[in-house]
Amino acid sequence: MDMNEIKEIFFQECEEQLAELESGLLRLNDGDTDPETVNAVFRAVHSIKGGAGAFGLDDLVSFAHVFETTLDCVRSNKLEASPDLLKVMLRSADVLADLTAASRDGGTVEASRTSGLVAELEAYAKGQPLPSASAPAAPAPKPAAPEAPVAEAPAATDDSGFQPVPFSFDAIDGDDELAIDGGASVFTVRFKPRSDLYAKGNEAVLILRELAKVGDLQVRCETDDLPSLDMLDPEGAYFSWLIRVETESDEEAIRQVFEFVEWDSTVEITAGADEEAFSAPDAAGEEQPMAAIPFDLSLLEDEPVVVAEAEAPVAAAAEQPAALAPANMPLAAKAIAAEAEKKETAVPAVPAAPQTIRVDLDRVDRLINLVGELVINQAMLAQSVVENESGGSSAVNLGLEELQQLTREIQDSVMAIRAQPVKPVFQRMGRIVREIADMTGKSVKLVTEGENTEVDKTVIDKIAEPLTHMIRNAVDHGLEGPDKRTELGKNPEGILKLSAKHRSGRIVIEIADDGAGINRERVKAKAIENGLITPESNLSDEDIDNLIFHPGFSTADKISDISGRGVGMDVVKRSIQALGGRISITSKPGKGSVFTMSLPLTLAVLDGMVVTVADQTLVVPLTAIVETLQPEKSDIHSFGPSQRLIAIRDTFCPLVDVGNILNFRADLANPVDGVALLVESEGGGQRALMVDAIQGQRQVVIKSLEANYTNVPGIAAATILGDGRVALILDVDAVVTASRGQPLSPDMMLAATG
């Protein structure tokens, strides 16, 4: 693994953390007061900052740092997570996402967005803005600040940890020349560890070893404090050291060595040699009067030794506390063990996350392709057994049946691997709503439901865009401004509800707003103006609502920056249809509109009805078919030069000759010889598709025509049937549209023969 791979992991992780961040903030926004939520939010930002720091992504680090500081105030209850603050934080989360994306893909984030939020966040962290004060009143942004994240840290937290040890500054004042001269200077260090030093895993000998890297040492170990053996606490600290350091570095370098232990020991550093101490060892311990020890001091009264020699006794002393025998303190140990047990039993209460592994998408795709081939192969095998009926023993048939079932199961399981919750897409919508709400000055609350509904990854990837557009549309055109809403007696905050659920093998996504609903008068007027309908047209409310899906239709009087962009609902509709989906709208004036789209759960397989049309085999997606029927002569009614209607119970339904539309044959087939498939087309209207015969119903593996050949109007894709032949999958909506008089393009003949 190299740095680039780790960086890739970092960006993946950022995405997860950003999602975590946003959902956490939204939970807080909904009144969640669980400290763990705040912690999780804090951790997300902290993690991003940590990784970004490692890769030198300074912009990201500095922004994350400011964000983190403010979050820390919330976490420590210094700052209340007010709705205003959360708004700022949600916008900060958006900027953080943008900065992350900019770091990954290149590009920059507008400095004004960053600096504005930095100022707001910092103002909150300093407790300056009153809950009601508007954020722009905060201090002006620091233009050049982001390069120095450390410097931006609030003073309150910064200095508490790095307090210099108080005694020493006076002492060195007069001796500065020593170091300035460039030659080696001499310092005397008194180092007296307390037992905590050892308890925290530090060792005096290692400190001395570190000190030896700074300069030449002369070390004296003071053992005066060592009590008699029966008084000796095995975990006590009795030794202290007097060290003469001859170094070219300054005092700071020496202090650095004691960085980890300054809390748990007394460290005195004085410039100049304490010659007296080294010549008269007894004076060394004068700071803390010590009891005389009944030891033979002569053993220790050697000449001062250099560190290499000193190590042995020092190590021995230092190891005392390190060699911790449980037997020494049975009571304490038991208490500790009990506590530790308590901890351990308390811990499993947190549900463990399900185990997951990360797999390259390519591998899953390859697996899916292979399973597709397997399904086809199994179908072909079954077919050839049927064809050689004579050779098919019951054992073969039984095995074949089992194989079929297994294949189906494998296929379902593989599809499940690709299935993912729609949550990430829904979360992205939260951001879109905020942005548009900001731009339009509307107040909007996004409510999501069923975000764990799973659907194939390819579908997820493709719904984001139409969904974004619909959300923009709903906020921009659907919801009224706060003033208008108040006037109407509605809550000034509009509600946008985004929900997902499974329904009969499809995923249904609804976008509901509680806005004004479709202004039918205006839609109708606009449609007449655009020549979509004639003023005399008698349209049902539903028909009028669905006019907004017509190409080039927009009711916005002026093209706004938000949902305008030259893209109308017709584009949304088309992209959803391209996914094998449907979209419709229901609307109540004054109450709001609901957009409903239904999509297949996967784009890899499809349940289809295999039919014959003019000697061609076609597959009609089962989801489109409402019912099949055998037309009677008396049900067929001619209408105009070439149109025919079929009477189904009480209603008439246009009859569509598929063979004719696809140019499989020039004349019209006799309906009585064929079968009619009643299909639901976009906009809710029904059509009866004429085909010659139904062969059966089966699951087929979708093979893209676009990828393997080219886009063919009227045909959605292709598949391979059990007999090894290629069959085309009918694009029902395109055929229905063509039956209204818009011919399919002429390259059809070519495709159909292929």
Q: By the criterion CB under 8 A, which residues form the site for another protein?
A: 1-3, 5-6, 9-10, 12-13, 39-40, 42-43, 46-47, 49-51, 53-54, 56, 61, 65, 69, 150, 153, 157-162, 198-203, 205-206, 210, 259-260, 263, 321-322, 324, 326, 333, 336-337, 339-340, 343-344, 347, 350
Query: Closer CB to another protein, residue 78 or residue 366?
Result: 78
- Residue pair 10/23 in contact (Cβ under 8 Å)? The answer is no
Query: Closer CB to another protein, residue 201 or residue 489?
Result: 201
Query: Is the Cα dihedral 431, 432, 438, 439 positive or negative?
Result: positive
Query: Closer CB to another protein, residue 166 or residue 566?
Result: 166
C-alpha to C-alpha distance for 754 and 744, rounded to whole angstroms = 17
C-alpha to C-alpha distance for 87 and 124, rounded to whole angstroms = 12
Which residue, among 60, 64, 74, 78, has the nearest Cα to 25 in the 3D structure?
A: 74
Query: Closer CB to another protein, residue 332 or residue 488?
Result: 332
Q: Rounded to the nearest whole angstrom, what is the least distance from the CB of residue 366 to another protein in the complex?
A: 25
- Residue pair 65/149 in contact (Cβ under 8 Å)? The answer is yes
Q: Rounded to the nearest whole angstrom, what is the least distance from the CB of residue 34 to another protein in the complex?
A: 13
Burial 76-109 (b: 16+ CB within 10 A, else e): eeebebeebbbbbbbbbbbbbbbbbbebbeeeeb
* 228: three-class secondary structure by DSSP: coil
Q: Rounded to the nearest whole angstrom, what is the least distance from the CB of residue 269 to another protein in the complex?
A: 18
Q: Rounded to the nearest whole angstrom, what is the least distance from the CB of residue 347 to another protein in the complex?
A: 5
Query: Is the Cα dihedral 458, 462, 468, 470 positive or negative?
Result: negative
Query: Closer CB to another protein, residue 10 or residue 238?
Result: 10
Q: How many helices (H) and strands (E) does the chain have?
A: 27, 23
Query: Closer CB to another protein, residue 159 or residue 296?
Result: 159
Q: Rounded to the nearest whole angstrom, what is the least distance from the CB of residue 105 to another protein in the complex?
A: 18
- Residue pair 576/683 in contact (Cβ under 8 Å)? The answer is no
Q: Rounded to the nearest whole angstrom, what is the least distance from the CB of residue 144 to another protein in the complex?
A: 19
- Tell me which DSSP letter residue 627 carries: E
- Residue 535 CB-half CA count within 13 A: 1
Q: Rounded to the nearest whole angstrom, what is the least distance from the CB of residue 470 to another protein in the complex?
A: 35
| In the block, residue with structure tokens 């949304």 | 572
Checking 51-57 for CB contacts under 8 A at 24+ apart, the result is 51/10, 51/13, 51/14, 52/10, 52/103, 54/10, 55/7, 55/10, 55/103, 57/103
Which residue, among 599, 604, 593, has the nearest Cα to 573 in the 3D structure?
A: 599
Q: Rounded to the nearest whole angstrom, what is the least distance from the CB of residue 427 to another protein in the complex?
A: 20
Query: Closer CB to another protein, residue 261 or residue 679?
Result: 261
- Residue pair 573/667 in contact (Cβ under 8 Å)? The answer is no
Query: Closer CB to another protein, residue 134 or residue 256?
Result: 256
Q: Rounded to the nearest whole angstrom, what is the least distance from the CB of residue 205 to another protein in the complex?
A: 8
Query: Closer CB to another protein, residue 3 or residue 749?
Result: 3
